[in-house]
Structure 1
Amino acid sequence: MDLLRMRWRDVVFAHWRVDAPTVAAQLPDGLDVATHDGDAWLGVVGFVMSGIRPRGVPAGRSFPELNLRTYVTGPNGDRGVYFFSLDAADRLGVSIARGAFRLPYFSAEMRHTREDDGSMTLRSRRTHADAAPARFDASYRQAGETFAPEPGSLEAFLTENYRFYTAGSRLYAGDISHPRWSIAEATATIRSNTLFPASGFDAPDAEPTVHYAPGIDVTAGGLGPVTQ
């Protein structure tokens, strides 16, 4: 059953290739690294969470969000996303997500702006008590026509994921639903990114693969334990 409805707007996907064993060392028991052509990927995904609300509620909350994630396979062979961190500029939303969805959300000071030239800027500084400090500061813009990722392509691997995993005393999974992504190639100027070391990874030393999506409507269901 769908519990939440929302729109993700002005989405930037910035992804870096990472050796699979490096990612595997940071995963909880029960999850395996998913790879594309032998490579694991770490992604920084930022967007504006617009109108997030429980089902049946006409108006919701809006705020910037930023996550560091990778791609995994669960015990039953189901592909999904594993989040190392999620920063959001909404204390209430962070509290609810940490409690109800067991996700590693952190409060942050964030600002998302659209510039006159069509580019967007996203700045984030984690402020959560007792959390590793993390900053992100980048500008990005669409650099081509939008398209639907082809099944089996790298673009589909990085974007078309409809399950997320999280771990506490045991492994849990939740599902989301939305239309297929419509994305475009993009450019990004990243001035600061300390999300990697804040989650135990070396800072990236290469340019990322960047995509942009104007927006998508999303529904999310509840969380349930995964049988291993």
Structure 2
Amino acid sequence: MPSLSPDERAWPPVLKAGWLRQTFLHWPFRPADVQVLLPRGLLVDEYDAMAWVSLTPFLMADLRPAVVPIKTRFTTFPETNLRTYVRRPDGRDGIWFLSLEVGSAAMLAARCAVGAPYHLGDLSVSEHEGTVVYAGARRGGDPSYHLVVRPGDAIQPSDRDIWLTSRWRAYTRRFGILFETPVEHEPWPLFTGVIEQLTEKLVRSAGLPAPDGDPVVHFSPGVRNVQIGASRPLPELRHRPTRGSNPRTDGV
């Protein structure tokens, strides 16, 4: 069950960073609509009998190898993730990324390393009259988004808030092998948020139907002490197909 704090340490860390000015938009979907997008070895994780898909734009700050203490402006850039919530057959939960839009070409190396679906784009994060403005368009492709959010009051997170925001590992797939990457940071400080403008094409581009209704919204000023551990291959799942899995996602 997801919790405010990680259930394992990302130790030794490989990368360090801060995730700042992050907005979470969460939509419920029929589990079957999401399951077909998952690779073998992962199952949809459900809350209130629904799968959930989240759009999470933020500012990646001071990304660097864990052994390098120096921070430079070249390692700070916008990123926007489209993600869903998954579990392994043994119940170990995490995140599966449907797409990752990034404003730094250096991050494309991660696509080759562990199969994360990074796409280079022209992205921005800015503030205007009390709102946070996110915009992005994928280079060489159609998916784009524009979001204006007005942060509200701090909240005491409910079980659903924690379930939607606090996940401590990500799964990726490369050459038919599932990888698990642990993450560790302080609990998210969560606030309410009001959407003032929203247009997006990322959800449909990922192979999902258009979202139905308004999303659940969270805003966070961010977390600054993010530690990302080494990606671990899970070869024992390589030949264990999951009912409803999609062979198109077995490699990137």
TM range (shorter): over 0.9
Q: Which residue of 1 aligns with 2:249?
A: none
Equivalent position SS for 1:144: strand
In 1, distance between residues paired with 2:173 and 2:233? 9
C-alpha displacement of 1:76: 3.0
Q: Is the 8 A contact 2:193 2:217 kept in 1?
A: yes
Structure 2 residue 87 is matched with structure 1 residue 73: yes
Q: What residue ranges of structure 1 are gaps of 5+ in the alignment?
A: none
Structure 2 residue 110 is matched with structure 1 residue 97: yes
In 2, distance between residues paired with 1:194 and 1:188? 16
C-alpha displacement of 1:146: 4.1
Structure 2 residue 171 is matched with structure 1 residue 165: yes
Q: Which residue of 2 aligns with 1:27?
A: 38
Q: What residue ranges of structure 2 are gaps of 5+ in the alignment?
A: 1-11, 238-252
In 2, distance between residues paired with 1:29 and 1:84? 15
Structure 2 residue 117 is matched with structure 1 residue 119: no
Structure 2 residue 233 is matched with structure 1 residue 225: yes
Q: Give the TM-score normalised by the residue count of structure 1.
A: 0.92
> What's the CA shift string for 1:54-95, capped at 9, x where partnerless?
0122114000000111000013321100000000000112x2
In 2, distance between residues paired with 1:76 and 1:52? 32
Match among 153, 160, 163 for residue 154 of structure 1: 160
Q: Give the TM-score normalised by the residue count of structure 2.
A: 0.84
Amino acid at match of 2:81: N
Q: Which residue of 2 aligns with 1:145?
A: 154
Structure 2 residue 53 is matched with structure 1 residue 53: no
> What's the CA shift string for 1:172-192, capped at 9, x where partnerless?
111100111110111113432
Higher relative contact order (CA 8 A, sep 6+): 2
In 2, distance between residues paired with 1:141 and 1:189? 7
C-alpha displacement of 1:197: 1.3
In 1, distance between residues paired with 2:30 and 2:19? 29
In 2, distance between residues paired with 1:172 and 1:119? 37
Amino acid at match of 1:140: V
What is the CA RMSD across the aligned residues, in angstroms? 1.3
Q: Which runs of at least 4 in structure 1 moved beyond 4 Å after TM superposition? A: none
Structure 2 residue 47 is matched with structure 1 residue 36: yes
- Equivalent residue pairs, number: 220
Q: Is the 8 A contact 2:154 2:189 kept in 1?
A: no
Structure 2 residue 195 is matched with structure 1 residue 188: yes
Equivalent position SS for 1:41: strand
In 2, distance between residues paired with 1:189 and 1:39? 26
C-alpha displacement of 1:203: 1.7
In 2, distance between residues paired with 1:208 and 1:218? 26
Q: Which residue of 1 aligns with 2:204?
A: 197
Q: Which residue of 2 aligns with 1:213?
A: 220
C-alpha displacement of 1:204: 1.5
C-alpha displacement of 1:205: 3.2
Amino acid at match of 1:63: F
In 2, distance between residues paired with 1:67 and 1:34? 18
Amino acid at match of 1:134: P
Amino acid at match of 1:191: L
Q: Is the 8 A contact 2:166 2:188 kept in 1?
A: yes
